[in-house]
């Protein structure tokens, strides 16, 4: 006697694990995409530039989220990968005069390799020890970028200034608008790839390693390979974000990539929502706008306000903004069902 799998149950499991999206979720995604497309039409160039930065940081946060949220490996070193991506773009554009769009795949590949190589020794380190090792990586980055021997390429302390790209084919839009749409396209592609990667076998393997590495190994998952590859993919995302960030800011310098950038990405991930893909967008918004809000509240001690805001966020939304939205929705529908 064989058990017939219940197709309905399968459907529910797929929906619950995020492998499939419900009609509501598809609708939400479509709405967000449309809002994103229309946004620059309603705001000034300066605001568009800020939203471009939001997209850039959202990609970096997603990179860290793949590593920390889905795979359980801590990193305080993502400013280093962001810097590598940014410098790859700047050096290619300024020293070798290569078009800006080619710098993104190059930055991605360079960071993939760098992340994978860093992931190998990191295999021996767990939790706090890994956090310390990556912390070392991020504080070593600025002096490394200032190092004499590389000055020919990196410009030393002075950094590299690059030129902002114009819209192609004579499209009648400002540089800021064009860069926004370009970043938007890249972000959608990266988010789609992340969703595809995380919803299937690979995603399950990553989460299994996070939740119980010994059980994961017992089930035949090559934990070493998965963990270092995750490091590589995570670095790739952050590196592409770094390259786009460099193009938007038009300038790279060692002081742009201090340890505080790593902390900002981490804060964005936690407040946006650990282990969620849409949370990364909220993370980007948090990174760009929270310091401005803090400054508006108090110029004398902006960081005290910043800290207070973080505590409030963590107190009222312990699962981050996306977790808050999900929980709120779940509660509403439960009540609905109870009434029915």
Partner 1 sequence: MLNRRNFVVSAAALAIALAYGPANAAGKYDPGASDTEIKIGNTNPYSGPASAYGTIGKGIAAYWKMVNAEGGINGRKINFISLDDSYSPPKAVEQIRKLVEQEKVLFVFQSLGTPTNTAIHKYMNAKKVPQLFVATGASKWGQPKKFPWTMGWQPTYPSESKIYATYLLNNKPDAKIAILYQNDDYGKDYLNGFLEGLGAKAKTMVVAKASYETSDPTVDPQVIKLKASGADVFFNITTPKFAAQAIRKVADLGWQPLHFLNNVSTSIPGVLKPAGLEKSVGLITTGYIKDPGDPQWANDADVKAWNAWMDKYYPEGDKKSSFNAYAYAVSSTMAEVLKRAGDNLTRANIMKQAASLKGLKVPLLLPGITVDTSPTDFYPIQCAKLQKFDGAKWVLVGDTICPK
Packed helices 175-199 and 201-211: angle between N→C axes, nearest 10 degrees: 80
Minimum CB separation from partner 1 for residue 63, in Å? 17
How far, in Å, CA of 51 to CA of 179, rounded? 10
44 binds partner 1 (CB under 8 A): yes
DSSP state of 125: -
Task: Say whether residue 283 binds partner 1 (CB under 8 A).
Answer: no
Whether residue 107 contacts residue 243, with contact meaning beta carbons closer than 8 Å, is answered with yes
| CB-count exposure of residue 183 (10 Å: 0-12, 13-18, 19+) | buried
Q: 12 or 251: whose CB is closer to partner 1?
A: 251
In the complex, what is the shortest distance from the CB of residue 184 to partner 1, in angstroms, rounded to a whole number?
Answer: 18
Site pattern 188..217 for partner 1 (x: CB under 8 A): ------------------------------
In whole angstroms, what is the distance from residue 30 CA to residue 45 CA? Answer: 25
Instruction: Give me the least distance between CB of 156 and partner 1, in Å please.
Output: 6
Shortest reach from residue 85's CB to partner 1, in Å: 14
Q: Which of 158, 196, 212, 222 contacts partner 1 by CB under 8 A?
A: 158
In angstroms, the CA 229 to CA 252 distance is 28
- From candidates 40, 51, 53, 55, binder to partner 1 by CB under 8 A: 53
Rounded to a whole number of angstroms, the minimum distance from the CB of residue 248 to partner 1 is: 8
List binders of partner 1 among 112-151 (CB under 8 A).
Answer: 143, 146, 148
Question: Is residue 199 packed enough to be buried (19+ CB in 10 Å), middle (13-18) or exposed (0-12)?
Answer: middle
289 binds partner 1 (CB under 8 A): no
Can residue 284 be called a binding residue for partner 1 (CB under 8 A)? Answer: no
Which of 161, 164, 159 lies closest to 248, judged by CA? 164
DSSP for residue 71: T
What are the DSSP calls for 227-255, one per residue?
A: HHHHHHHHHHHHHHHHHHHHHHHTEE-GG
Q: Is 77 in the site for partner 1 (CB under 8 A)?
A: no
Per CB under 8 A, the list member of 74, 182, 306, 322 interacting with partner 1 is 306
Cβ closest to partner 1, residue 211 vs residue 255 = 255
The nearest distance, CB 43 to partner 1, in angstroms, is 10
């Amino acid at each position: 006697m064989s058990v017939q799998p219940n197709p309905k149950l399968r459907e529910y499991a797929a929906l619950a694990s995020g492998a499939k999206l419900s009609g509501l979720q598809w609708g939400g995604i479509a709405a967000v995409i449309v809002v994103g497309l229309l946004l620059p039409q309603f705001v000034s160039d300066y605001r568009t530039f800020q939203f471009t930065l939001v997209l850039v940081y959202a990609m970096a946060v997603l990179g860290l989220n793949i590593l920390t949220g889905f795979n359980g490996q801590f990193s305080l070193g993502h400013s280093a990968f962001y810097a590598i991506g940014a410098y790859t773009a700047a050096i290619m554009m300024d020293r070798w005069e290569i078009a800006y769009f080619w710098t993104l795949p190059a930055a991605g590949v360079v960071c993939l390799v760098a992340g994978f190589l860093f992931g190998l020794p990191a295999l021996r380190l767990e939790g706090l020890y890994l956090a310390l090792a990556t912390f070392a990586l991020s504080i070593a980055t600025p002096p490394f970028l200032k190092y004499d021997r590389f000055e020919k390429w990196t410009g030393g302390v002075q950094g590299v200034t690059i030129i902002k790209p114009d819209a192609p084919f004579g499209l009648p839009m400002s540089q800021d608008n064009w860069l926004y749409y370009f970043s938007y396209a890249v972000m959608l592609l990266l988010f789609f790839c992340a969703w595809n990667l995380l919803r299937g076998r690979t995603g399950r393997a990553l989460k299994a390693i996070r939740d119980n590495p010994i059980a994961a190994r017992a089930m035949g998952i090559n934990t070493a390979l998965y963990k270092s590859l995750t490091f590589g993919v995570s670095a790739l995302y952050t590196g592409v974000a770094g390259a786009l960030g460099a193009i938007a800011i038009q300038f790279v310098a060692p002081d742009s990539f201090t340890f505080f950038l790593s902390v900002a990405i981490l804060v964005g991930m936690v407040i946006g929502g650990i282990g969620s893909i849409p949370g990364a967008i909220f993370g980007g918004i948090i990174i760009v706008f929270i310091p401005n809000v803090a400054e508006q509240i108090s110029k004398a001690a902006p960081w005290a306000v910043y800290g207070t805001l973080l505590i409030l966020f963590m107190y009222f939304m312990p699962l981050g903004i996306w977790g808050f939205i999900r929980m709120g929705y779940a509660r509403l529908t439960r009540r609905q069902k109870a009434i029915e």
